[in-house]
Amino acid sequence: MTRVAIVTGGSRGIGRAAAERLASDGFAVVVVYGGNKDEALAAVEAITAGGGQAIAAQADVADEHAVEAVFDTAEKTFGGIDVVVHAAGITYLAPVAEMDLDRLDRVHRTNIRGPFVVAQQAARRVRDGGAIINFSTSVLALALPGYAAYAASKGAVEGITLILARELRGRDITVNAVAPGPTATALFLDGKDEETITRMAAQPPLERLGTPSDIAEVVSFLAGPARWVNGQVLRANGGLA
């Protein structure tokens, strides 16, 4: 039986690296994208060119009907769902005193309602023996100024993750979150000058930024061999915090 993974935010960055890594691990992958159709199709093409199985599916992760349709598509196309990786997310940076509240609402819709909607479908439909993997951030431990809205949303993701792990007792489904540190993705690099990037790269004891493949390695571990890791937040940040 082919194992099947749904990866949200799968068109770019960490999500795409995770989708490609899971495909190389033998999963059939549903690459879920919000607006980047061309990049999602490119991810699918890269996977299929390497001999893997993948399809693309569009959804606003905060729309329960769209997410349900993605899960329907996964089941109809590949026969079931074994792993759900929720990597979709957005961020706006501003001090608390200056944060535009409409932007706060958008962050929370995508980063709190989105993970909850995806987790709800995953809890109902992931096959026994599967895995659910969410994304937090090491910013929670670092408490960086300007990140309050983003960190608040990811604190919620950690709460959802730890509680869902306990709610799925008896089904042999693991639920964990990965909390990357600074990782060289378009989302992270956008708007940062070279000095800022160099300074942040020097902070971990390993003295570099993470890469999407570093984080995909952790996803692969949680999706496959890590059957005794459950209800945890893995801080993949090179020793930063």
The residues spanned by each domain of the chain are 4-234
Is it the case that residue 191 has pLDDT exceeding 80? Answer: no
Would you call 98 helix, strand, or coil by DSSP?
helix
Euclidean distance between CA atoms 223 and 7, whole angstroms: 11
Task: Quote the CA–CA distance of 159 and 231 in Å, as a whole number.
Answer: 10
Please determine, for residue 79, whether its predicted confidence score (pLDDT) is greater than 90. yes
| Range of lowest pLDDT (52-56, 126-130, 194-198) | 194-198
Would you tell me which CATH number, out of the four given (3.30.70.580, 3.90.1560.10, 3.40.50.720, 3.40.50.1010), belongs to the domain 4-234? 3.40.50.720
What are the helix (H) ranges across 112-206?
114-125, 139-142, 148-167, 186-189, 194-202
Write out the two tokens for 34. Answer: 């919000």
Residues in the chain: 241
Contact 84, 125 (CB under 8 A): no
- Token reading at 109: 């819709």
Structure tokens at 234: 């893995």
* pLDDT band with cut points at 50, 70 and 90 for residue 125: very high
Give backbone dihedrals phi and psi of 132, rounded to 5 degrees, phi first: -120, 125
Tell me the two tokens of residue 84.
């759900």
Q: Is 178 helix (H, G, I), strand (E, B) or coil?
A: strand
Please report the pLDDT score of residue 212 as a whole number. Answer: 93
Q: What pLDDT does 190 receive? A: 76
The maximal CA–CA distance of the chain, rounded, in angstroms, is 53
* pTM summary value: 0.95
Q: Are 133 and 219 in contact (CB under 8 A)?
A: yes
pLDDT confidence bin for 164, thresholds 50/70/90: very high
Active site residues: 150
